[in-house]
Amino acid sequence: MSLKAESVSPDWFKHKRADKNLIVNPVIPWLMIGFPVLILVAIVIYPTIWMGYHAFQNTNMMKLFYQDWEYIGWQNFATVLSDDRMWDSVGRLIQYLIFGACLEVLLGTILALTLFELVKSQLARVIILILLVLPMMLPPSIVATLWKFLLQAYNGAVNHLLIKIGILGPMERIEWLDAGLSLWSLTMVDVWQWTALPLLIVYSGRVSLPPAIYEAAKVDGASQFMVLRRLTLPLLKEIIAIAFIIRFMDAYKFVDKVYVMTSGGPAQSSELPVFIAFQKGIREVEIGEAAAYAWIIFAVAMVLITLFLKYLKKVLKAQTFA
């Protein structure tokens, strides 16, 4: 005889389960899902398929107008990949990622930990955080416009300030948005706006670390530097990485400030891949080539995001029990 307990539902329970107190017209769920699906199809799925199709056609403005494009195989991709303009922009993207995203995360981490260690009053912390986060609250196009004015070579406030404090002579000017400096200026503006995000992420991570282990470290005799190097940074490693991933993904599609401040110029010196795709597709109406651009960008993003998600999964798994 088996000793396994049989699970027999009592009658009242069966009765309760059989009770259909929510009677819904079967059409309603379909309607509720249907509308969002339709919208998605209209603005995302259809254009994506359309783009996929045109990446293999020789579509441009005239051909689109007369609807007589034809299949040309992988030729669009070949054009894009052999274009120096594309490879130059990839180089600039890497430069931007290293000096933009990394600097933002580095500065954000330093600021967050300094804020936590030095400012002990909760009110002061909140006020400082709000001040630091303000730039992030502005729309990127506004920030870009603002800085475009500030960085004007002649009437710009930045140069004016530099002359005032004597770094520049009275007749000297820095051409912030000139070919040599434009990408650096863009990076600087982006750092100004987005440092607050890693700051917030790292700060909240630091706040959530248990104070008891810091006390234990103090009693153990660890110096401030040791606590930072052996406790705080290893424990915040994953959180800093997540902050970097978020900034990286943003940076990858960085186009707004480029568009407003330099339009990729002068002489295409501040173009980034996404901006070129936009330029090709919307300005030059080289639909086929722009579609190929978009596919390449999409494919690289897929690879990167897969790697990031894999990393995130590992992090989450490690943190479940901690």
Partner 1 sequence: MAELELQSICKAFQHPVLDRLSLKVPQGEFFVIVGPSGIGKTTLLRCIAGLENLDGGKILFDGQDVTNVPPYQRGAAMTFESYALYPHKTVFENIASPLVAAKTEVTEIRRRVQDVTKLLQIPHLLERKPHEISGGQKQRTALGRTLVAKPKVYLLDEPISHLDAKIRAELRIQFHTLKELREVATVYVTHDYAEALSLGDRIGVMGDGGLVQIGTGREVFDQPNSLFVAQHLGQPTINVLDGQLQKDNEDLVFKSDEMQLPVSRELANKLKNDSGREVKIGLRPQFIHCLSEWENDKDLPVFSFQAEVELNEALGSYGVLLVKAMGKSLTVITSPEIHYSPGQKVELSIETNRSLYFDAQNGMNLGTDLTRMEADG
Binding window for partner 1 (CB under 8 A); candidates: 169-177, 212-220, 266-274, 308-316 = 212-220
Return the SS3 of 71.
strand
Owner of token pair 């300005």? 283
Per-position x/- string for 54-83, each x denoting binding to partner 1 as judged by CB under 8 A, each - no binding:
------------------------------
Closest CA to 172 of 191, 149, 154: 154
CB 213 within 8 A of CB 167: no
Nearest Cα to Cα of residue 92 among 152, 158, 181:
181
- Using CB under 8 A as the binding rule, whether residue 215 contacts partner 1 is answered as yes
Q: Binding residue for partner 1 (CB under 8 A) from 61, 73, 234, 307? A: 234
Residue 228 touching partner 1 (CB under 8 A): no
Tell me the longest C-alpha to C-alpha distance in the chain.
102
Helix or strand run (H / E) with residue 296: helix 287-320
Position of tokens 């590992």?
A: 314
Binding-residue total with partner 1 (CB under 8 A): 18
8 Å CB contact between 156 and 176: yes
Regarding 28 and contact with partner 1 (CB under 8 A), the answer is no
Q: Is 226 in the site for partner 1 (CB under 8 A)?
A: yes
Which of 169/211 has CB closer to partner 1?
A: 211
Q: Which stretch binds partner 1 (CB under 8 A): 47-55, 102-110, 209-217, 278-286?
A: 209-217
Q: Are 156 and 271 in contact, with CB atoms under 8 Å apart? A: no
Taking the least distance from each CB to partner 1, the nearer of 223 and 306 is: 223
> If DSSP codes are grouped into helix, strand and coil, which group holds residue 105?
helix
What's the min distance (Å) between Cβ of 221 and partner 1? 4
- Does 218 contact partner 1 by CB under 8 A? yes
Q: Judged by CB, which is closer to partner 1: 107, or 228?
A: 228
**Per rule CB under 8 A, is residue 225 in the interface with partner 1?**
no
* Only segment of 58-66, 78-86, 92-100, 230-238 that touches partner 1 (CB under 8 A): 230-238
How many Å apart are CA 107 and CA 111, to the nearest integer? Answer: 6
Token pair for residue 177?
A: 């948005």
Contact between 322 and partner 1 per CB under 8 A: yes
Pairwise CA distance, residues 203 & 118, whole Å: 13
Task: Specify the stretch interacting with partner 1 by CB under 8 A; choose among 135-143, 165-173, 206-214, 302-310.
Answer: 206-214
Candidates 97, 168, 217, 285: give the one binding partner 1 (CB under 8 A).
217
Three-state secondary-structure class, residue 170 = coil
Sites of contact with partner 1 (CB under 8 A): 210, 212-213, 215-223, 226, 231, 234-235, 321-322
